[in-house]
Structure 1
Amino acid sequence: MALLAVAMSCSGLQVRILSIDFTLPYLLKDENYPIGGWAIELSIWLRALENAGHETAVLTWKGALDHVGPGQQIRLIETYDPARGVRVAKWFYSYIPKVWAATRRYRPDIIVMGARGVQTGIMAAIANQLGIPFVYRVVSDADVDERYKIGLRRYEQLSYSWGQHRSAGFLCQNGYQRDQLAAQFPGKPIHVIHNPIAMAENATAPLPRAKRGYVAWLGVFRYPKNLPLLLQLARELPSLKFRVAGTPSRDADQATLDAVNGLRQLPNVELVGYIRRADIQSFLSEAAMLLCTSRYEGFSNVFLEALATGTPVVTRRPVDPDLIVLRHALGGSAEDEAGLSRSVKAIWDMDADEYNALAQRCQIYVRANHSPAVKARELIAALTPLVPNPKGPMLDSATPVGAGPGSCASGA
């Protein structure tokens, strides 16, 4: 879950933005822990905003500072210990009081949160009590239609819906999300801002087709990722090698677990387990394509990570965000499952010269359209009108929660 502490203003004033996320410390430590796309996106936003001179912080769990260690650019503020307490009751005697206290001490100008759940309503309520705007960052197409109920208990659904209605605005990943929210919340500010990805100016040129030997699949093993479809495609294409990276989520459904077991039995499939963030570029750059079998996404960070290495993406049309794969010819955007299989085969069998041109096109697209600096400016432009009186730089009275850019502090 995530709250984003964002700073902003084209005139040079700082806007202090607060985020909340309880998986970010594991990402910063690059550990074998299921990490959702929002944590990855959040980490890129935060670094880009800090680099642009703005002020950000992230609420997280007690003990995270020692766990992560020094030297992080992202400022962490500890709240409560999720491993202690009675499961439901601790929301009221531990989580809410400590998150409320840490938020109040930080004195944010705005709260931006992603990943739907009970925390959406809690953070919207805290923002309301503090008299500051709450903005929700949509991280999946399921956030904006009836699919939001998937995986949420009834009280979590109610809290998420309440938080949506109390939001000052929405940040979307694609046009579908914008259109759905515009129909539900007419008059509220809604902006489409595609995900950023950090890419070095001197990034390595894409490997030629001759050095790419497999179809890559990367993600957390859970219902939205549609592992049964991956199993079906691997069976249909026995002459192609598949390398599948990821681990099961803690709440993985039985169909997903059965599909993983089925993949393990196929001779053309290699399950490589968790891949550290430091090794993802190598994994994707040596693949002939990235295959996405998801039932739904929003704007997959893995798409951008693959394209940045010159690796084309093959996905279904409903998961192709704003049809970027189709419109920019970045791989295969299939209308249905049968078309997905044909697209995989077509990319695999593509003439080497044609493939190498495709790989270069993928990398050029990312560099031109998803720079963190550019996307941070878009984010700031969207949030600035919601913050009429930014507090500016943090004062000495606030130093207990973060003594300067890049530092970490405990709010517990």
Structure 2
Amino acid sequence: MAVPRSSGSQMRILSIDFSIPYLLKDDNYPIGGWAVQLSIWLRALENAGHEAALLTWKGALAHVGSGQQIKLIETYDPEHGVRVAKYFYSYIPKILAAARAYHPDIMIQGVCGVHTAIMAFVAGQLGIPFVHRVVSDMNVDERCKVGLRFYEWLAYSWARHRTAAFLCQNEYQREKLAALFPGTPIHVLHNAVVVAEDAPAPLLRAERRYVAWLGVFRHGKNLPLLFRIAQEFPAVKFRVGGMPERQVDQSTLDAVNGLRHLPNVELVGLVRRADVQQFLSEATMLLSTSDFEGFSNVFLEAFAVGTPVITRRQVDPDSIVLRHSLGASAEDELALSKSVKMFWDMDANEYNALAQRCQIYVKANHSPTAKARELIAALTPLVAKSKHPGQPL
């Protein structure tokens, strides 16, 4: 017997991700920004009175254990199957069966690739809207196709044309998608970060001892630039948190090896979720050397503990660092390098005022509760239209 979809203001939302179980266990596993953000969304949606669940890999429930707020639904084992063919005889049927049993009102997926197409197809089979969350600037321009296998690009391209709405992280993404998909609803929804009500005040400058860098070691994070900056300032202490992704390029490996041999650099390995706050709170600044992002979670995590961000203009999301004076938003590599030295040498009183400003900003603008309301506001007309075809958005 079919279970009716949710009624009234409550919404039933289904998403997919295969790394959140590792995040929930705080495993020694590289976690992307979308998984962190999706976990925040799922908890915030539940707290707001909606139902939300996550499709994930077979065996995840036993791996994670009990007591998790996020509802996990197992699908398939990604370690088994014949390449490409497995999508048709295993992955799609299992995801479709699991989704049908959950009876969602709407499906959301982030990160470009085959799963975008699978979720779009499944949503179509269920007669419900499919929404795609863009998680990087490169997903909306010519760089997207370069990073995907041919069949992945075909799948992703097919899915984007069947998307009921896009959720973007910044205005650049919105503008690019608006040109590609005129008429499709596109919403800018900035990332959220959890800040406890009783969060301690930021540490004073005298208690901060290093420049922090935090992320997955991969091409777009530009570790060669980090290496050059650390070389330039031998009197400045750098602590680098992160680990390589499964397939890492040679220039990144060379940069990591170079960093390992600099006396002013400490490679601390993967910083577990439970330790991120302390790692960032004791830093004078968070340095980002990335070539591209969308809306970096670690920026918000730094602001939450009063740590300013030193970044490049192209990855300052909607220029929030520049507009709100939360650090430095550098035009080029030279300016980025100069900013590191300037903030390291900043007057303590000026620095302490900056640290307070960072924490006040993030509390006022990026709470999970507020972002969940924005998300539901974007999804509500889509669900209403699917239940009442012909209704204008």
**Aligned with residue 188 of structure 1, among 184, 188, 206:** 184
Asked if the contact 1:289–1:314 (Cα under 8 Å) also holds between the matched residues in 2, the reply is: yes
Of structures 1 and 2, the one with the larger relative CO (CA 8 A, separation 6+) is 1
Assess, with a 3 A threshold, how the Cα gap between structure 1 residues 302 and 8 changes in structure 2: closer, same or farther: farther
1:375-396: CA deviation from partner (whole Å, max 9, x where unpaired): 10000001100001788xxxxx
State whether structure 2 residue 51 is matched by structure 1 residue 55.
yes
- Per the alignment, residue 145 of structure 1 pairs with 141
User: Are positions 1:225 and 2:221 aligned together?
Assistant: yes
Say what the alpha-carbon RMSD is for the aligned residues: 1.3
Superposed, 1:94-133 pairs within 5 Å as: 94-133=90-129
Aligned to 1:405: none
One of 356, 359, 364 as aligned partner of 1:363: 359
The equivalent of 1:309 in structure 2 is 305
**Aligned equivalent of 2:332, options 317, 331, 336:** 336
Between 77-86 and 308-317, the greater mean CA deviation after superposition: 77-86
Q: Give distance in 2, aligned partners of 1:97 and 1:255.
A: 40
Instruction: Tell me, yes or no, if the aligned pair for 1:37 and 1:300 is still in contact at 8 Å.
Output: yes
Distance 2:146 2:300 in 1: 26
Give the structure 2 partner of residue 284 of structure 1.
280
Structure 2 residue 243 is matched with structure 1 residue 247: yes
Gaps of 5+ in 2: 388-393
2 CA distance for matches of 1:297 and 1:220?
12
SS at match of 2:155: helix
**1:238 pairs with 2:234:** yes
**2:21 corresponds to:** 25
Report the AA paired with residue 88 of structure 1. V
Other-structure match for 1:396? none
Alignment size in residue pairs: 383
* Equivalent residue number for residue 390 of structure 2: none
Amino acid at match of 1:86: V
Task: Report the Cα offset of residue 150 of structure 1.
Answer: 3.6
How far, CA to CA, are the matches of 2:157 and 2:291 in structure 1? 22
Counterpart residue type for residue 163 of structure 2? S
Is 2:73 the partner of 1:74? no
Q: Structure 1: how far apart are the matches of 2:46 and 2:386? A: 16
TM-score (norm 2): 0.96
What do residues 18-46 of structure 1 show as CA deviations (whole Å, max 9, x unaligned)?
00000010000000101000000000000
Preserved CA contact (<8 Å) 2:129 2:386? no
SS of corresponding position for 1:278: helix
1:94-124 deviation digits (Å, cap 9, x = unpaired):
1111011111111111111101111111111
Q: 1:214 to 1:161 in 2, by over 3 A?
A: same
CA contact (8 A) 2:128 2:386 kept: no
The question of 1:168 aligning with 2:187 is answered: no
Give 1:262's aligned residue. Answer: 258
One of 204, 212, 221 as aligned partner of 2:208 = 212
Could you tell me whether the CA contact under 8 Å between 1:48 and 1:373 is conserved in 2?
Answer: yes
Asked whether the equivalents of residues 8 and 384 of structure 1 are also in contact (C-alpha less than 8 Å), the reply is: no
Provide the secondary structure at the position in 1 that maps to 2:81.
Answer: coil
> Residue by residue, what CA displacement relative to the aligned partner does 1:193-227 show, whole Å, maximum 9, x if unpaired?
10011111110100000000100000000111111
Deviations 1:221-268 (A, max 9, x none): 011111111111111111111100000000111111111111111111
**CA–CA distance in 2 between the matches of 1:222 and 1:134?**
30
Residue 283 of structure 2: SS of its match in structure 1? coil
2:345 corresponds to which of 346, 349, 356: 349
| Distance in 2 of aligned mates of 1:104 and 1:369 | 36
Aligned partners of 1:13 and 1:390 also within 8 Å: no
Q: Which amino acid aligns with 1:63?
A: G
Partner of 1:394: none
- Hey, what's the Cα distance between the residues in 2 that align with 1:258 and 1:279? 27
Aligned counterparts, 1:31-46, within 5 A: 31-46=27-42
Q: 1:186 to 1:103 in 2, by over 3 A?
A: same
How much does 1:130 deviate? 1.3
Letter aligned with residue 155 of structure 2: S
Which secondary structure does the structure 2 equivalent of 1:387 belong to?
helix
Match of 2:60 in 1: 64
User: What does residue 384 of structure 1 align with?
Assistant: 380
